[in-house]
Every structure is written in C-alpha cells, then in structure tokens.
Amino acid sequence: MSMNRRRFINLSGLGITGFTISGFTNPSHVMDQKPIVISTWDAGLNANKGAWEVLSKGGTALDAVEKGVMVTEDEISCCVGLGANPDRDGHVTLDASIMDHEFNCGSVAFLERIKHPISVARKVMEKTPHVMLVGEGAQQFAIAEGFTLESEKLSDDAQNAYQNWLKKSTYKPIINIERSNKPNAQLEDKYKAPTRFDNGDWNHDTIGMVALDMHGNLSGSCTTSGAGFKMRGRVGDSPIIGAGLFVDNEVGAVVATGQGEDVIRVAGASAVVEYMRQGKSPQEACKLVVEKIRRIKKEKAAAIQVCFIALNKKGEHGSFALHNGFNYAVQSEQGSNLIESPFSV
Ligand code: SD4
C-alpha cells in the first residue's frame, strides 16, 4: 500500500470515535485526565490505538508506550522502522529509547536489521546494568535476547528514494520541514503529498509517545530511523535520555522530534520538564525550549524543524514547534484527536 493511501486511511478509516482535527487550541486546560497517551505526527493515531489497548485495560504506561510505537515500527511503508530510508551508504540504522516512572531508562542507537528497536531498548533497561547500547553490540544483545536478524534489503519505497538520492548524492539532510505552510484545514491536501522525497520535503522518521496510566504513572518512548541519507554512524536525539526523551514522574514526560542535533545541544526534553516543574503549562514549557533553539540557531533556524510534545501529571498536554506543519495525536476516554501544533515562525 502506498504511503499516500495509508495516510488517507489514517484519517478516514480508523473507526475512532470523537476523531477531530483541531486547530491552534490550547488543549492543556483538560485536568486530571487519565489514562491518556499522546504521540508525534499523524502516525500517532494508529500508534495511540496500540497504546490504548493497554491503558484502557488498566495496564501500565510503560507497556503502553512500548506497544504503541511498535505499531509504527511494524508499518513497513513508514519511515520509522526497517522500511525507512537508509543512510548514505545504503543501510537502515535505527535509534530508540524508553523511560519509566522511576527514572529507569534504556536505549539503542545505530542498530541494524532489528524490527523492534524499542523492545531492545526496554531489554537494555531491564536486563543490563547499562542505559545505552549501540551498533554491533546492540545487535548482538538483541540476537541473544531472541530478536530475529532481519534481511538487509531495503523496502521498495526506500530503494527508490535511495536511487533518486544517489543521482545527486548531496549531503544535506533536512529533517521535518514540511512541504506546505498551509493551515490545518488543508491537512488532507498535505497527506496527498509524496512522502519520501530525497530532498527531505516530507521526512517524518520518528514516533515519540508519552503516556499517563490510570495509576498516575508516566512513561515515554521514542523510535526513529533518524534522517534519510545521513552519514554512516550518525545518531540523533531520540536515543539520548534527556534530549529526545525525558520522564520525571513528579512533573511530566516529554518527547522531541525534528532536527536531533539541535535538540541535543539544549538537552531539550529535560529542559521542557524543568520548565513544567517551575509551573509552566506543557505548551508554554515546549515553547520556551523551541524559542531558545531559535535564538541559538539565528537565521539557520529557517532550515530546521524542532518540535516537542509534553504531558504533565494531571494529564494536561501541549506542544510547540519551530515551524508550521507539526501535529500530534491524543487518545483518552474523550476519544482520539489530531492536534495541529502552535509554532514559532
Ligand atoms: C533525529 N529527531 O534523529 C530525529 C529525527 C526526527 O522525524 O524526528 N524525524 O534527529
């Protein structure tokens, strides 16, 4: 199934009650909502369904955020798992992280040929004295834990994109800058856009998810192929605890998407949590960190996208992005929503 068709089904065929596409509302006012799960981009609609199966039965946020993003890792037509665009040497390399309500965390980076990096990250957290395993060592650990070593073959879409990219081989990764600056009313048109440009035009490579369970505990997860045609060995923010993902069960949980290098340099997710600790709403907290990145990057901010989503202990949520075009999915007892994020420039 083509990506365009898949995105259309996301919008029309999920059978989720209460589905809406929201505008620039501030959803943070909804208090004491639990359980609840939020996740990045429209792929989050499906992923949230996976998480909701766990949360709605009283399961833990940790199980929910693992199961949720596994849905996206399974979608071979998606840019998150093994179906993703390769690095510039033609290999798909994956990063993932997970964190629970007690500061337990695990991550993998530069992992190849494993379908569910998020589950390997969880095993790192639960079965090793370490937080992070990378590359060959991460793969060896995964195999020892019973994960299957998958084929190296690229998906058809990724193979086409790579062949196109090889024609110019320009090394200019652009992450998450959207093709259109149209307002949310034009979302459906946006979904008709091709999704695997070799120039980064539509380039969602990540799903990040944070959840609050009915016991009042928070957890988060993030899984990604990083950036199409990246340098071999490049690792982004997603597997770096405190940058791409951070959970403090006293305060809130935050996950990032966008240009990972710029999330890392401000310890992004951790910074958002600290602003929430000081009393900022999830949206305000995300905004403060995005604005800091904008100040640091100056005119270069025009060429990057950075986005955060945040959930606090009360179930209030919010987001902020550098540029237009970012959205996030929410699932609670109120139903399922896709929310267009406020943005800076
Ligand atoms: C990275 N933050 O590796 C990821 C990329 C991303 O949608 O979010 N893509 O830098």
Q: What is the pLDDT of residues 58-89, one digit of tens each?
A: 999 999 999 999 999 998 767 789 999 999 99
> How many angstroms does the Cα of residue 192 sit away from the middle of ligand 1?
22
The pLDDT value given to residue 27: 52
- Catalytic sites, residue numbers: 206
For residues 186 and 21, what is the distance between their CA atoms, to the nearest angstrom? 10
Ligand 1 pocket member 227 (CB < 6 A): yes
Mean pLDDT of the chain: 85
Confidence of residue 207 (pLDDT cuts 50, 70, 90): very high
pLDDT (average), residues 191-215: 66
State the DSSP string of 278-334. TT--HHHHHHHHHHHHHHHHGGGGGG--EEEEEEETTS-EEEEESSTT-EEEEEETT
**Candidate of 107, 177, 231, 237 to mutate for ligand 1, largest count of ligand atoms within 8 Å of Cβ:** 237
Same structural domain, 15 and 77: no
Kind of pairing between the strands at 105-111 and 132-134: parallel
Ligand 1 pocket member 258 (CB < 6 A): yes
Domain assignment present for 345: no
The pLDDT value given to residue 228: 87
Domain span at residue 22 reads 1-29
The pLDDT value given to residue 203: 56
pLDDT digits (tens, 9 = 90+) for 318-333: 999 999 989 999 999 9
Ligand 1 pocket member 97 (CB < 6 A): no
Query: What is the CATH number for 220?
Result: 3.60.20.30
Interhelix angle 117-127/135-144, nearest 10 degrees: 80
- With pLDDT > 90 as the criterion, what percentage of the chain qualifies? 71
Q: Tell me the three state secondary structure of residue 211.
A: strand
Same structural domain, 19 and 42: no
The pLDDT value given to residue 186: 37
Confidence of residue 175 (pLDDT cuts 50, 70, 90): low
**Candidate of 107, 108, 176, 240 to mutate for ligand 1, largest count of ligand atoms within 8 Å of Cβ:** 176
Same structural domain, 20 and 109: no
Atom of ligand 1 nearest to the CA of 234: 3
Domain assignment present for 292: yes
For residues 327 and 320, what is the distance between their CA atoms, to the nearest angstrom? 9
Q: Which of 39-43, 237-241, 311-315 has the lowest mean pLDDT?
A: 39-43
The pLDDT value given to residue 77: 67
Kind of pairing between the strands at 218-224 and 206-212: antiparallel
215-218 — which CB contacts under 8 Å span 24+ positions? 215/60, 216/34, 216/313, 217/60, 217/61, 217/62, 217/100, 217/101, 217/249, 218/61, 218/101, 218/247, 218/248, 218/249, 218/252, 218/253, 218/311, 218/313
Query: Please, are residues 244 and 210 in contact by the beta-carbon 8 Å criterion?
Result: no
Same structural domain, 11 and 58: no
Read off φ and ψ for residue 33, nearest 5 degrees: -90, 115
- With pLDDT > 70 as the criterion, what percentage of the chain qualifies? 81
Q: Using CA positions, which residue lies closest to atom 3 of ligand 1?
A: 226
**Candidate of 205, 223, 245, 326 to mutate for ligand 1, largest count of ligand atoms within 8 Å of Cβ:** 205
Same structural domain, 15 and 36: no
Query: Please, are residues 332 and 36 in contact by the beta-carbon 8 Å criterion?
Result: yes
Same structural domain, 233 and 299: yes
Could you give the number of structural domains in the chain? 2
> How many angstroms does the Cα of residue 95 sit away from the middle of ligand 1?
9
Same structural domain, 24 and 95: no
Same structural domain, 43 and 135: yes
Interhelix angle 61-74/44-55, nearest 10 degrees: 140
Q: Tell me the three state secondary structure of residue 118.
A: helix
Confidence of residue 177 (pLDDT cuts 50, 70, 90): low
For residues 79 and 293, what is the distance between their CA atoms, to the nearest angstrom? 25
Ligand 1 pocket member 264 (CB < 6 A): no
For the cut 60, the answer to whether the pLDDT of residue 116 exceeds it is yes
Report the chain's C-alpha Rg in angstroms: 18
Same structural domain, 113 and 227: yes
> How many angstroms does the Cα of residue 205 sit away from the middle of ligand 1?
6
The pLDDT value given to residue 95: 98
For residues 262 and 264, what is the distance between their CA atoms, to the nearest angstrom? 5
Task: Show the tokens assigned to 340.
Answer: 């267009």
Same structural domain, 2 and 76: no
pLDDT (average), residues 11-22: 38
Confidence of residue 21 (pLDDT cuts 50, 70, 90): very low
Same structural domain, 11 and 37: no
Ligand 1 pocket member 176 (CB < 6 A): yes
Domain assignment present for 66: yes
pLDDT digits (tens, 9 = 90+) for 31-42: 678 999 999 998
Could you tell me which of 337, 345, 343, 279 has the C-alpha nearest to residue 18?
A: 337
Claim: this prediction has a pTM higher than 0.75: yes
For the cut 70, the answer to whether the pLDDT of residue 18 exceeds it is no
Same structural domain, 164 and 262: yes
The pLDDT value given to residue 32: 73
Query: Please, are residues 317 and 28 in contact by the beta-carbon 8 Å criterion?
Result: yes
The pLDDT value given to residue 205: 86
